[in-house]
Amino acid sequence: MDDVSRLVARDEIRQLAYRYALAIDTRNIDTLVGLFVDDVRVGAAAGHAALRESFEAQLRATGITILFVANHLIDFDDDEHARGVVYCKCEAQNGDRWIHQAIQYRDTYERRAGRWLFVRRRHLLWYGSEVGQNPLALPPANWPESQTGRGTLPESEPTWQEFWRRRRS
């Protein structure tokens, strides 16, 4: 891979991590599953259907999430395979509790049909800690009148609404 191709590949791989975070936060399961190779391993199972089922179960057990993607180191094994380490700060609703987490993802990537995808994504946790005040219990912010209070995300996102509507059906 020449230098320009390597730079483009790094940017495409970084976009995977950003798209993953947005898909998790908005519960866009179609986008989330589409970031992985079609034969992704999910425990003893494999494939997008198994991955979808796994993500659905995990995300239904969690309320609102906010993932902040940071340091992303990428090493290439060859022109079609790479590995990466991604740092992430997470805020997450757990019932009435509000949790902060420091996460490191250990990723394996592969380019298939000209597109970089996750082969594997390992979630490693430094810590998860409850925050004193749950921001979801605040009164509405009514932005821009007030800078503090509860906002409209993620509930205003169509994919979020559809994710939770499917649960009720």
User: Pick from 167, 154, 168, 159: which is nearest to 57 by CA?
Assistant: 167
Q: Is residue 61 part of a domain?
A: yes
Q: Is residue 160 part of a domain?
A: no
Residue 169 has pLDDT above 70, yes or no: no
Does this model's pTM top 0.75? My answer is yes
Q: Is residue 129 part of a domain?
A: yes
What does DSSP assign to residue 136? Answer: G
Residue 167 has pLDDT above 80, yes or no: no
User: Pick from 1, 143, 137, 140: which is nearest to 64 by CA?
Assistant: 137
The mean pLDDT of 34-45, rounded to a whole number, is 97
DSSP 61-95: T---EEEEEEEEEEEEEETTEEEEEEEEEEEEEET
Q: What pLDDT is stored for residue 168 in this prediction? A: 67
Domain range holding 16?
3-151
Measure the CA–CA gap between 115 and 9, rounded to whole angstroms.
Answer: 9
Residue 162 has pLDDT above 70, yes or no: yes
Q: What pLDDT is stored for residue 59 in this prediction? A: 94
Q: Is residue 158 part of a domain?
A: no
Residue 143 has pLDDT above 80, yes or no: no
Q: What pLDDT is stored for residue 104 in this prediction? A: 98
Rg (C-alpha) for the chain, rounded Å, is: 18
Q: What pLDDT is stored for residue 7 in this prediction? A: 96
Q: Which residues contact 5 (CB under 8 A, 6 or more apart)?
A: 79
Q: Is residue 15 part of a domain?
A: yes
Q: What is the pLDDT of residues 59-81, one digit of tens each?
A: 999 999 999 999 999 999 999 99
Q: Is residue 57 part of a domain?
A: yes
Dihedral of the CA atoms 119, 6, 21, 159 (nearest 10)? Answer: -80
User: Per mean pLDDT, which range of 14-18, 52-56, 103-107, 131-135 is the poorest?
Assistant: 131-135
Q: Is residue 159 part of a domain?
A: no
Question: In CATH, what number is assigned to the domain containing residue 127?
Answer: 3.10.450.50
Considering its fold, how many domains does the chain have in total? 1
Structure tokens that stand for 5 in this block: 């191709």
Residue 145 banded pLDDT, cuts 50, 70, 90: confident
Q: Is residue 32 part of a domain?
A: yes
Cβ–Cβ under 8 Å, residues 101 and 68: no
